[in-house]
């Protein structure tokens, strides 16, 4: 990927909050986080990936970009509107692939092709078999238009729309370097309502899955069992605000995370059974719900692999003069998608 120009401003519109990151890259490759913004969204602003309260998002964006000159942004899409498939095709030239990809997409994408934006990338070529692996991505045009319109209403200039799974992968590679040959790495991004799983095998995406479960399910269980407000339940889930956490909370959280950990384990078991990979070498977690220790422990216990944290501060060092440490504190995992978007450049073209 050849890249030119300044880094774009990364804008992650999630179901519970908006995160904004801006990164500056030095000549020697060092990266500095020069801006981090966080804005909590009212409940039910985004439901099942659909925007229900556009006004709240536009208002949040306007507040986050108040007095900011840089307005060229990278956005992210995820959830039901996006399909990612790894397909095998005969080896062919780029021109032949461009011609064939539409026909291939018809076989693999359950949407009308007129309604989706298609993109693709060759992952690897196996010349001996005369085959190549291609990553095929389709995103619903309507959802992309709705997303970019929100940014435009807030007087922003959307330049790129990326996918959750790939922005987290960008961050992982920036923080840890490319996975080594023969290594299987699981990237888990656990947000409020969605968990994105991306398995890297030999340095390339081999399997992705979105699980419609996240931190909200834990909050709702605390709320239901203790008969308290959502705000109180959220504070208790995150370790308590003022005062002590009721003694029942750890047990409730422990039970609530088991469902999600089980879904993650089933996805990994399916991948290992169908891919030929023998085991998982590394599991790295990001997203706000990654802060819930009980979830990390449950996944680790089930998979027998230690769960590591992928924090935005591993990717870019915060500039203490321009980034308020109190705003960033405790949100390093939440900032990962916005950080991955902020690694994108103004002018990019696939190599």
Stretch among 67-81, 290-304, 312-326 having the lowest mean pLDDT: 67-81
Whether 8 and 73 have beta carbons less than 8 Å apart is answered as yes
Q: Give, as one character, the DSSP assignment of residue 41.
A: P
Average pLDDT of the residues in 83-102: 92
Q: Give, as one character, the DSSP assignment of residue 178.
A: S
**Residue 247 pLDDT > 90:** no
**Residue 255 pLDDT > 70:** yes
Stretch among 11-25, 38-52, 155-169, 259-273 having the lowest mean pLDDT: 38-52
Neighbouring C-alpha atoms within 13 Å toward the C-beta of 33: 27
Residue 232: the pLDDT is: 86
22 vs 28, higher pLDDT: 22
Residue 154: the pLDDT is: 96
Average pLDDT of the residues in 170-181: 89
> pLDDT tens digits, residue range 225-234?
999 988 888 8
Whether 205 and 135 have beta carbons less than 8 Å apart is answered as yes
Residue 240: the pLDDT is: 56
Residue 252: the pLDDT is: 92
Cα–Cα nearest to 275, from 173, 182, 138, 170: 182
Its pTM surpasses 0.85:
yes
Question: What confidence category does residue 346 fall into, taking pLDDT thresholds of 50, 70 and 90?
Answer: confident
348 vs 296, higher pLDDT: 296
> pLDDT tens digits, residue range 125-139?
888 889 999 999 999
Cα–Cα nearest to 77, from 7, 172, 142, 22: 142
Distance between CA atoms of residues 97 and 91, nearest Å: 9
End-to-end alpha carbon distance in the chain: 5
**Residue 244 pLDDT > 80:** no
Residue 3: the pLDDT is: 53
> pLDDT tens digits, residue range 304-345?
999 999 999 999 999 999 999 999 998 999 999 999 999 998
180 vs 151, higher pLDDT: 151
**Residue 2 pLDDT > 60:** no
Q: What CA–CA distances, in Å, run from 132 to 7, 124, 178, 204?
A: 32, 6, 21, 13
| Number of compact structural domains in the chain | 1
What does pLDDT average to over the chain?
A: 90
Whether 218 and 238 have beta carbons less than 8 Å apart is answered as no
Torsion of CA 319, 321, 324, 330, to 10 degrees: 30
The enclosing domain of 145 has a CATH number of 3.30.420.40
For residue 85, give its domain range: 2-349
Residue 4: the pLDDT is: 64
């Amino acid at each position: 990927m050849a890249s030119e120009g300044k880094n774009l401003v990364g804008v992650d519109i999630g179901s519970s909050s908006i995160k904004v990151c801006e990164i500056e890259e030095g000549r020697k490759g060092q990266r500095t986080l020069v801006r981090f913004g966080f804005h909590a969204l009212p409940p039910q602003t985004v439901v099942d990936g659909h925007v229900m309260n556009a006004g709240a998002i536009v208002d949040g964006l306007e507040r986050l970009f108040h007095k900011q000159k840089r307005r060229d942004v990278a956005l992210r899409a995820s959830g039901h509107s996006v399909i990612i498939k790894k397909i095998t095709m005969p080896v062919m030239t780029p021109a032949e692939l461009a011609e064939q990809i539409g026909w291939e997409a018809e076989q693999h994408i359950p949407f009308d092709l007129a309604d989706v934006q298609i993109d693709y990338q060759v992952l690897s070529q196996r010349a001996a078999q005369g085959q190549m692996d291609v990553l095929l991505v389709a995103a619903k045009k309507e959802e992309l238009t709705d997303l970019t319109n929100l940014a435009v209403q807030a007087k922003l200039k959307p330049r790129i729309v990326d996918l959750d799974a790939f922005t987290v992968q960008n961050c992982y590679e920036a923080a840890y370097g490319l996975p080594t040959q023969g290594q299987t790495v699981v990237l888990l991004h656990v947000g409020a309502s969605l968990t994105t799983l991306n398995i890297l095998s030999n340095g390339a995406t081999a399997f992705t899955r979105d699980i419609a479960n996240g931190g909200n399910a834990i909050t709702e269980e605390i709320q239901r069992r203790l008969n308290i407000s959502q705000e109180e339940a959220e504070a208790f889930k995150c370790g308590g605000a003022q005062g002590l956490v009721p003694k029942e909370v750890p047990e409730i959280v422990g039970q609530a995370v088991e469902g999600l950990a089980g879904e993650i384990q089933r996805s990994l078991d399916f991948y290992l059974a169908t891919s030929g990979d023998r085991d998982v070498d590394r599991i790295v977690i990001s997203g706000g719900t990654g802060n819930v220790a009980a979830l990390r422990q449950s996944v680790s216990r089930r998979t027998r692999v230690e769960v590591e944290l992928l924090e935005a501060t591993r990717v870019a060092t915060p500039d203490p003069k321009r980034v308020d440490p109190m705003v960033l504190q405790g949100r390093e995992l939440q900032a990962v998608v916005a950080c991955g978007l902020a690694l994108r450049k103004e002018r990019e073209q696939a190599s």
